[in-house]
Structure 1
């Protein structure tokens, strides 16, 4: 197997004072070497005092970033002194240009506008002291060279400012991404809580009613009590399976989901989410609790997206569960209408008129109690997530109605009308 090259990056950060000290030392060395040459014209030969001045002129470059204006003015004053003594001014030109570049890169245009003419004036003063040569050339150099250096310095400062802005934008983007991630985690937790609420509320309600029925007919009708106990067992197993499937998908530990013996994910752990095809199971449990449920399907049933299927399933489940909690002797009509571009579901009950099936009493027995209200809020939020509308409220002639409308893809075939009543 061919190995990939490994790149090692060493996080080395050199302090700016060290960099400036190296630059100052390098500039002094270059200036001293240049001063050792014989200058053309009437310039004074560099002696020991001249070399000392060269060192003193360029030494302030060590702190050029901390006090750029002060460093530049000190160098210009000493450079004028150096020129007035008759030494060759070209020797210290590189250091002065580096100083004015630093001012342009670290200070405002207003400050630079006051310093750049001083550099040009020093250059012109050196040209006046020169023996021979073209003054026009001196003027051109005094104007063009410092201006070019200032332009590079200003460009460097603007680039640094843009980099700082980009760094701020990057940091803000990172904070916004972290905030969106936290919101996504919160939304996911809310979704999981809603799913768990729907699962637990429905199945526990069925178990509660069946337990009350079994207790009520235990002595007088043992077969009915046994049937109720069987329904309790089936409902409990289904609730546990559904909760196990939901929670197993959320586990980060793959060992809990992976089956090492068969080298695949167990099918019972990765079962599909509930859909409209399983509404008959919900209706059967509600009927087993003693509620008459009539179902009617209109239009051509067709596969929908898993999210829409789960949304519709949970809302029907919640609506039937509310009937089981608050109107246990009601008659319910469930209509599922597959329209050309909309799925319409209505769950209507008449409020109940007979003797209710015995069940454990609840302190919030009102139809729009706190539990039901939270359930309706969850149903409404789930509906909005898929661009639908939900209506829920009492009927004028008694009872309660829940209506759901969800947008769905266009119908692939001609609508067939009523498909059947059960």
Structure 2
């Protein structure tokens, strides 16, 4: 319960206790006329004990155990008096409930059980001494024998305790559910942040590294072939514009996951960019091309980018084929590179690139696909298969 809610509940308890105490004290003049033979101080004492029982209601949330102790002692004390107020014992019901709501069940059972045992022992002692036990929970009737007194006392303690246990169990369940939802939300936020980081890293790794490669080539050709430098600079300009488009696409994917979302660059565009920086690539498509979900489209785009970057780094000069096959229920994308005709590029030639096979696998699995990689006739093959359903055709 929040601080404001707790204060409101405490004020409500105080109000209820004040009303009950006022009603209890208001009966004293009437009871004095009904029992003229009894000393006035005895009647007043009985009603003051009843007030102690009722005032325990006012502090039951803040001091539940102490309140139950007071509510238990007050009815026992009235067994020695000839007059029992009608409201005596009401505090037991509310305090037993409060103990069960606030305390863990083993502790609550111990407290309520101890209070009941004390109450029962006091009632049996009063019965054995020949006294009346009308004052023990008189709202249950007028229990004049041990059996009726014990039954009424057990009901007064354990029925509200069971109700309190039920309420506590539900509250704990709601709290656990809320905590689980919060953990899931935090995990989703962390996953989304990781996905954004991967997207940014891939754009920097693939697109910007290509710009760096072309800028280096332009620098080497500056004095020898100005026309080639101009062509390279135009290619850099196009590549930079495409990189900005990729960034906007990524932000759009994060904000608007629907049909209006910008799509990743098509494979033809990825192939063209790779050719511009020197790769020999053949792109082949089988089946009837159709629009696929954004998650698959993005996975395919990043997969091909990563595979081409791997081919450029680890198999420089080797021809590459990109095969796209649209089946009735699947989309298969395969990137193969032949055996390189010269040794691999130095490890520092393209620093900071991609997330490798692990990044590929995460992307493909996120889109519901399956990734297979391995050697292929001296080269390397990457194959991703994605499921497509009728709903994907649009």
Q: Assess same fold via TM > 0.5.
A: yes
| Counterpart in the other structure of 1:94 | 87
| Counterpart in the other structure of 2:105 | none
**Would you say how many aligned residue pairs link Structure 1 and Structure 2?**
359
- Whether the aligned pair in 2 keeps the contact of 1:127 and 1:138 (CA below 8 Å) is no
Cα distance in 2 for partners of 1:50, 1:411 equals 86
- Whether the aligned pair in 1 keeps the contact of 2:253 and 2:262 (CA below 8 Å) is no
| Counterpart in the other structure of 2:245 | 241
| Counterpart in the other structure of 1:38 | 34
| C-alpha RMSD of matched pairs (Å) | 3.9
Match of 2:325 among 325, 337, 351: 337
1:318 lines up with 2:322 in the alignment:
no
Match of 1:190 among 181, 187, 194: 194
- TM-score with structure 2 length normalisation? 0.75
When residues 362 and 19 of structure 1 are mapped into structure 2, their CA distance, relative to the original with a 3 A threshold, is farther
When residues 246 and 11 of structure 1 are mapped into structure 2, their CA distance, relative to the original with a 3 A threshold, is farther
Unpaired runs of 5+ residues, structure 2, are 61-65, 100-110, 135-140
| Counterpart in the other structure of 1:14 | 10
Cα distance in 2 for partners of 1:210, 1:156 equals 80
- Whether the aligned pair in 1 keeps the contact of 2:288 and 2:326 (CA below 8 Å) is yes
When residues 76 and 411 of structure 1 are mapped into structure 2, their CA distance, relative to the original with a 3 A threshold, is closer
1:294 lines up with 2:294 in the alignment:
no
| Counterpart in the other structure of 1:50 | 42
- Whether the aligned pair in 2 keeps the contact of 1:20 and 1:63 (CA below 8 Å) is no
Secondary structure of 1:392's partner? strand
When residues 15 and 143 of structure 1 are mapped into structure 2, their CA distance, relative to the original with a 3 A threshold, is farther
Cα distance in 2 for partners of 1:194, 1:244 equals 15
When residues 30 and 98 of structure 1 are mapped into structure 2, their CA distance, relative to the original with a 3 A threshold, is farther
| Counterpart in the other structure of 1:389 | 370
1:350 lines up with 2:343 in the alignment:
no
When residues 154 and 342 of structure 1 are mapped into structure 2, their CA distance, relative to the original with a 3 A threshold, is same
Larger fraction in helix: 2
- TM-score with structure 1 length normalisation? 0.71
Secondary structure of 2:8's partner? coil
When residues 92 and 393 of structure 1 are mapped into structure 2, their CA distance, relative to the original with a 3 A threshold, is same
Max Rg structure: 1
Which structure has more relative contact order (CA 8 Å, sep 6+)? It is: 1
Output one character per residue of 1:98-154: Cα deviation in whole Å (capped at 9) or x when no partner.
25546754543464255247447758956699xxxxxxx976787557735642542
| Counterpart in the other structure of 1:280 | 268
Cα distance in 2 for partners of 1:377, 1:138 equals 78
Match of 1:377 among 354, 358, 361: 358
Cα distance in 2 for partners of 1:217, 1:389 equals 44
When residues 193 and 154 of structure 1 are mapped into structure 2, their CA distance, relative to the original with a 3 A threshold, is same
Output one character per residue of 1:184-215: Cα deviation in whole Å (capped at 9) or x when no partner.
11100111122122222221232233223323
